[in-house]
Amino acid sequence: MTDKKKQTATKMLSPFDSPDIKDPLSDNWGAKRKLSDATRLLIENLVTCSTDTETLEKMAAVISEQAELLGESPACRVALLLKRVVIMVTLRI
């Protein structure tokens, strides 16, 4: 099988490539979608818009606070720990 055919087959079998957006499996998953949409809009506006430094600093503080709040969840702490372990094993630290 050629590389192009493999790529096409892989893309066709990917569970993330869907012509239809499915309903969220849970309220939690729905909330993650909303957060992802808001994050994408924030990044888009950050790249395409401009504002004063004071506003950007205030926004950075709020976003940092929210990121820390999300990072305090037990599931996130476990995921970060596993990520660090994988990095240490990969780098043979």
**Per-residue model confidence as pLDDT tens for the chain (93 residues):** 566 655 555 555 665 566 677 788 899 889 989 999 999 999 999 999 989 999 999 999 999 999 888 888 888 778 778 888 888 888 876
**Residue 5, pLDDT score:** 59
**Residue 37, pLDDT score:** 92
Q: What are the boundaries of each domain within the chain?
A: 28-91
Distance CA 29, CA 47 (A): 27
82: left (phi over 0), alpha (psi -120 to 50) or beta: alpha
Tell me the pTM.
0.58
